[in-house]
C-alpha cells in the first residue's frame, strides 16, 4: 500500500464577532436585527467612553468539516494515460492535509504543484483489473472528509471474439478423425464443436458481427485446475494456432465478447481406474459422498475463474453443467444387475452439477453469467449400440478387456437397443457427442443465452 499526503491550502480562520450589550431597560429576550446589533455595538462603545457599564463578548462559529469533490470511476485501456484533479476545500478556509491510500493500483501516482502540494492523480495502467483508493482531507481540528476512487482498466474490447475453455466435450473430441492418429493433441474439432456452431448462430442472428470468430483453448483431459494453471495452445476455427498461455491469462489479455466454459468427468476422477473401482463398489447412497469433495473443489475453481474474468474483462461468461451422454443401461460390475455404473454416473453428474450451481450462485457479477443446464439434452438420446458386434463390448473380447482396466469388470458406456440415428453420442467413443449432439447442445444454449 502506498500513502501520499500534503497540505493543499493555507488560510486564516474567519471569526465572526458578535456583541451582546447588557443595559438597563433592554430585555435579554429581545432579538436584535443586524441594524439594531450594529447600533447596540456603537452604543456600547459610547457607554464605555462615558464610563458606563457594558459587556462585550466574542463568539466563534463552530468549525465545519472539509469537502472533497467526487470523482467518477476512472475507466482506462491498458497502456493509456490519464490525469484527474483532486479538489479538497474547507468552508472555513482552514489549511488541509490530504492523504491518499492506494491498494497498489499499477501505474498510479500523485500530481503535485511547485510547492509539493497534491493537486491530482495520474494513472497509466500496465495491466487489467479493478482497484480502489481512498482520499481523506483533514483540517487542523481533526475534522475530515473522505471519498473512494475507483480504477478500472481493461485491454481493448474485442466484440468479434468468443473463447472456449474446458474439457473434451467443448473441444469437440472425436469430430475430427485425424486427431485419433495425429494432429492436435487436445482432440479439437474447431469448426464443428458446438461452441463453433454457436458462433455461427450468433452471427446469423446479428448478435456477433460478420467476421466474428471463435478461439478454442479446450483440451481433452483438462480439469478446472488447468483454467488458471496449465498452459495451452489456442487455435482458431481453421485450426491455426493463434496464441498460447494459461486460459485465464488468454481471456484477460484479449477481452472477448463471450467466454464458454465446460467441465466434466476429469474433475471427478472418473477416468482414474482405482478411484472408479472404489466408487462403483460403494452402495448407491454413498456415491454422492465419495464424489462430493472433488465436485466442490471443481465448482469453486470454476466460480473463481468466472470472478477473475469479470474483474479483468468486459466479457459475458457461459458455463454449461454436465449432461451425461452414457447409455441408459450400461453393463455393470458383477452382482449389480447391470446397472451399477449407470447409478454411479447419475450420482456423479448430479453431485457435480449441484455443486456447480451453488458455487456460481455466489459469483460477484451474476448479471454477466449464464448457466446452461445440459442434463436433459441427452435424455432419450444416450449412447447407441456401438459399432461392431455387441460381444466386443458386452462379455468378452479385447475391447472388453481394455474397458475392464477402468471399471474393474464392468462395461463403461455402450448398450444395445439404441438406433444410431437416435443418438447424440459418438458410436466410436460412446462418451463424446456426435454431430447431432453438438447441434443439440448449441440449440439448447442459444435458447437461453441472453443478449450479450
pLDDT in tens, 280-325: 555 555 545 567 788 899 999 999 999 999 999 999 999 999 876 6
Could you tell me the pTM of the whole model?
Answer: 0.76
| pLDDT of 86 | 85
Half-sphere exposure of 8 (CA within 13 A, CB side): 27
**Phi, psi angle pair for 345, to nearest 5°:** -60, -45
Residue 281 contacts residue 410 (beta carbons within 8 Å) = no
| pLDDT of 418 | 59
Residue 416 pLDDT greater than 80, yes or no: no
Q: Which fold has domain 158-448?
A: Rossmann fold (3.40.50)
Residue 23 pLDDT greater than 50, yes or no: no
Q: What is the mean pLDDT of residues 30-53?
A: 48
DSSP codes, 415-431: -SS--GGG-SB-TTTSS
C-alpha cell at 310: 469479470
Percent of the chain at pLDDT above 70? Answer: 65
Residue 224 pLDDT greater than 50, yes or no: yes
C-alpha cell at 433: 457427442
| pLDDT of 9 | 43
**Domain spans of the chain?**
2-12+63-154, 17-59, 158-448
| pLDDT of 33 | 44
| pLDDT of 41 | 47
Q: What is the mean pLDDT of residues 252-267?
A: 91
pLDDT in tens, 58-67: 666 789 999 9
| pLDDT of 29 | 42
Residue 369 contacts residue 260 (beta carbons within 8 Å) = no
DSSP codes, 246-315: -HHHHHHHH-EEEEEEE--GGGGTTT-HHHHHHHHTS-GGGHHHHHHHHHHHHHHHHHHHHHHHHHH---
Instruction: Label residues 31-43 b or e (16+ Cβ within 10 Å = b).
Output: ebeeeeeeebbeb
Select 2-12+63-154's CATH number: 3.40.50.300, 2.60.120.260, 2.60.40.10, 3.40.30.10. Answer: 2.60.40.10
- Which of 72-76, 199-203, 221-225, 385-389 bottoms out in mean pLDDT, i.e. has the lowest? 385-389
| pLDDT of 238 | 87
pLDDT in tens, 319-371: 999 876 665 555 444 455 545 556 667 777 888 899 999 999 999 999 999 99
**Which tops the pLDDT comparison, 335 or 188?**
188
Q: Quick one: which H or E segment has residue 67?
A: strand 67-68
Q: How far apart are CA 339 and CA 214, in angstroms?
A: 40
Residue 79 pLDDT greater than 70, yes or no: yes
Q: Which residue has the cell 437461453?
A: 448
User: What is the pLDDT of the chain when averaged over all its residues?
Assistant: 77
| pLDDT of 1 | 58
Q: Residue 76 — very low, low, confident or very high, per pLDDT cuts 50/70/90?
A: very high
Q: How far apart are CA 348 and CA 301, in angstroms?
A: 18
Distances (CA, A) of 66 to 11, 87, 89, 145, 434: 13, 11, 6, 6, 68
Amino acid at each position: 500500500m502506498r500513502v501520499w499526503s500534503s497540505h493543499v491550502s493555507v488560510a486564516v480562520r474567519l471569526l465572526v464577532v458578535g456583541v451582546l450589550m447588557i443595559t438597563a431597560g433592554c430585555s435579554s429576550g429581545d432579538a436584535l436585527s443586524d441594524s439594531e446589533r450594529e447600533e447596540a455595538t456603537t452604543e456600547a462603545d459610547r457607554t464605555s467612553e462615558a464610563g458606563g457599564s457594558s459587556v462585550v463578548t466574542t463568539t466563534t462559529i463552530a468549525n465545519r468539516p472539509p469537502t472533497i469533490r467526487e470523482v467518477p470511476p476512472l475507466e482506462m485501456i491498458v497502456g493509456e494515460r490519464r490525469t484527474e484533479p483532486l479538489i479538497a476545500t474547507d468552508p472555513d478556509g482552514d489549511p488541509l492535509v490530504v492523504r491518499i491510500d492506494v491498494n497498489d493500483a499499477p501505474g498510479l501516482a500523485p500530481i503535485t504543484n511547485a510547492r509539493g502540494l497534491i493537486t491530482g492523480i495520474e494513472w497509466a495502467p500496465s495491466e487489467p483489473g479493478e482497484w480502489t483508493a481512498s482520499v481523506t482531507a483533514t483540517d487542523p481540528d481533526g475534522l475530515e472528509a473522505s471519498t473512494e476512487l475507483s480504477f478500472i482498466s481493461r485491454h481493448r474490447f474485442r466484440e468479434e471474439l468468443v473463447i472456449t475453455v474446458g474439457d473434451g466435450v467443448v473441444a469437440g473430441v472425436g469430430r475430427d478423425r485425424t486427431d485419433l492418429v495425429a494432429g492436435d493433441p487436445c482432440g479439437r474439432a474447431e469448426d464443428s464443436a458446438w461452441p463453433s456452431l454457436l458462433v455461427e448462430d450468433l452471427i446469423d442472428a446479428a448478435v456477433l458481427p460478420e467476421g466474428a470468430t471463435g478461439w478454442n483453448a479446450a483440451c481433452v483431459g483438462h480439469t478446472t485446475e488447468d483454467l488458471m494453471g496449465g498452459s495451452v495452445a489456442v487455435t482458431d476455427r481453421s485450426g491455426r494456432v493463434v496464441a498460447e498461455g494459461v486460459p485465464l491469462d488468454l481471456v484477460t489479455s484479449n477481452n472477448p465478447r463471450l467466454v464458454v466454459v465446460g467441465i466434466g468427468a476429469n474433475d471427478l476422477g472418473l477416468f482414474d481406474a482405482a478411484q472408479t473401482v472404489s466408487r462403483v463398489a460403494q452402495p448407491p447412497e454413498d456415491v454422492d459422498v465419495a464424489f462430493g469433495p472433488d465436485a466442490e473443489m471443481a465448482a469453486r475453481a470454476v466460480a473463481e475463474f468466472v470472478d477473475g474474468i469479470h474483474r479483468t474483462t468486459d466479457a459475458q461468461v457461459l458455463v454449461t453443467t454436465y449432461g451425461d451422454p452414457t447409455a441408459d443401461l450400461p453393463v455393470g460390475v458383477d452382482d449389480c444387475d447391470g446397472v451399477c455404473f449407470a447409478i454411479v454416473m447419475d450420482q456423479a453428474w448430479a453431485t457435480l452439477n449441484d455443486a456447480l450451481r451453488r458455487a456460481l450462485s455466489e459469483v460477484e457479477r451474476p448479471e454477466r453469467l449464464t448457466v446452461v443446464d445440459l442434463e436433459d439434452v441427452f435424455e432419450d438420446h444416450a449412447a447407441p449400440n456401438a459399432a461392431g458386434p455387441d460381444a466386443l463390448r458386452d462379455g468378452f473380447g479385447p475391447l472388453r478387456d481394455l474397458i475392464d482396466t477402468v471399471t474393474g469388470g464392468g462395461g463403461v458406456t455402450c448398450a444395445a437397443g439404441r438406433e444410431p440415428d437416435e443418438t447424440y453420442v459418438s458410436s466410436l467413443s460412446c462418451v463424446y457427442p456426435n454431430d447431432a449432439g453438438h447441434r443439440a447442445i448449441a440449440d439448447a444454449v442459444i435458447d437461453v443465452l441472453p443478449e450479450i
